[in-house]
Amino acid sequence: EPEVTQTPSHQVTQMGQEVILRCVPISNHLYFYWYRQILGQKVEFLVSFYNNEISEKSEIFDDQFSVERPDGSNFTLKIRSTKLEDSAMYFCASSRDIYHNEQFFGPGTRLTVL
Amino acid sequence: SQELEQSPQSLIVQEGKNLTINCTSSKTLYGLYWYKQKYGEGLIFLMMLQKGGEEKSHEKITAKLDEKKQQSSLHITASQPSHAGIYLCGALSPGDSNYQLIWGAGTKLIIKP
């Protein structure tokens, strides 16, 4: 069964460093998403992406964040200058289209900023 | 903005017993999703409900959406250790977004052998 994959599973970085989180969505899906979950808190929407551009973004998704689909399979989230408060589990998701919008999630990347 | 409230926050159930988890919205729901979260496995899609009164089942898990589309319940029959985890409801809300899911805080389910 097709699934969303994410790498790495755990990333440790120093404050101020750039990190790139990688995701491979399900191959015939057209919509891609990033969410995050700070330990002990609710899952929060960051951004959605369709047709090579951002469809929606939340207040969390400021200028320090960017997303890219560099090729036909990968979908990346970049944090330019990490802060302590960026420590969280980051989930990538994809859905087939707007009418079949069950979102399927990857296993997540745990980001720890020291 | 829309809020989703889940209850209970946590639940300890004897293996074999039935249980129900609730998700209540402050606004009419366009789509209500149930996911299960297990450490290291991300969010596992269970079911999506869109129509008032809709009910769906998968194995021993049944989810319902009320007629007013503001409350959903997830019912597990004859619980097993494999049902343990955190159950999350997520929702789309027309007018706020076409894409993003907002989430409840989750219900942690523990199954006692």
Region B62-72 average pLDDT: 91
Please enumerate in sequence order all residues whose Cβ is within 8 A of that of A18, keeping only pairs 6 or more positions apart, or say none: A78, A79, A80, A81, A82
pLDDT band with cut points at 50, 70 and 90 for residue B55: very high
Please enumerate in sequence order all residues whose Cβ is within 8 A of that of A92, keeping only pairs 6 or more positions apart, or say none: A4, A6, A21, A23, A25, A32, A33, A34, A75, A77, A105, A106
Is the minimum CB–CB distance between A103 and chain B shorter than 8 Å? yes
The residue of chain A nearest to residue B108, with distances taken between CA atoms, is A40
Confidence at residue B69, expressed as pLDDT on a 0 to 100 scale: 81
Pick the closest to residue B20 from B87, B70, B68 (CA basis).
B87
Total domain count, chain A: 1
A40: left (phi over 0), alpha (psi -120 to 50) or beta: left
Helix (H) or strand (E) holding B84: none
- For residue A103, the chain B residues in CB contact (below 8 A) are 33, 45, 101
> Which CATH number characterizes residue A58's domain?
2.60.40.10
pLDDT at B94 over 60: no
The residue of chain A nearest to residue B43, with distances taken between CA atoms, is A105
Domains of chain B with CATH codes: 13-112 (2.60.40.10)
Q: Tell me if A102 and B33 make a contact (CB, 8 A cut-off).
A: yes
Confidence at residue B77, expressed as pLDDT on a 0 to 100 scale: 97
pLDDT band with cut points at 50, 70 and 90 for residue B102: confident
User: In this structure, are residues A10 and A114 in contact, taking their beta carbons and an 8 Å threshold?
Assistant: no
Q: Which residue has the tokens 């440790």?
A: A12
Give B12's strand partners.
Answer: B110
Q: Tell me if B45 and A45 make a contact (CB, 8 A cut-off).
A: no
Region B73-83 average pLDDT: 96
Q: Which residue has the higher pLDDT, A53 or B67?
A: A53
**pLDDT digit string, tens, across residues B13-45:** 999 999 999 999 988 887 899 999 987 668 999
Residue A32: what residue type? F
Confidence at residue A74, expressed as pLDDT on a 0 to 100 scale: 93
pLDDT at B98 over 70: no
Region B75-102 average pLDDT: 84
Confidence at residue B5, expressed as pLDDT on a 0 to 100 scale: 94
Residue B61 CA to its chain's centroid (Å): 10
Confidence at residue A79, expressed as pLDDT on a 0 to 100 scale: 97
Residue A17: what residue type? Q
pLDDT at B96 over 60: no
Instruction: Return d(Cα A81, Cα A79) in angstroms, integer.
Output: 6
Pairing of strands A75-79, A19-24: antiparallel
Structure token digits, residue B58: 């998968």
The boundaries of the domain holding residue A99 are 5-113
Residues 26-85 of A with CB under 8 A from B: 31, 33, 35, 42-45, 48, 50, 55-56, 58
Structure token digits, residue B48: 């999506």
Mean pLDDT of the residues in chain B? 89
Q: Tell me if B33 and A103 make a contact (CB, 8 A cut-off).
A: yes
Under DSSP, the state recorded for B83 is G
> Which of B43, B45, B99 faces A48 most closely, judged by CB atoms?
B99
Confidence at residue A36, expressed as pLDDT on a 0 to 100 scale: 96
Report the residue of B35, B36, B43 to disrupt the A interface, i.e. the one with the largest count of A CBs within 10 Å.
Answer: B43
Which of the residues in chain A have pLDDT under 50? none
pLDDT band with cut points at 50, 70 and 90 for residue B97: low
Instruction: Return d(Cα B96, Cα A24) in angstroms, integer.
Output: 27
pLDDT at B4 over 60: yes
The residue of chain B nearest to residue A43, with distances taken between CA atoms, is B103
> Could you give phi then psi for residue B16, rounded to 5 degrees?
95, -15
Region B6-14 average pLDDT: 96
Confidence at residue A99, expressed as pLDDT on a 0 to 100 scale: 64
Pick the closest to residue B87 from B74, B77, B99, B71 (CA basis).
B74
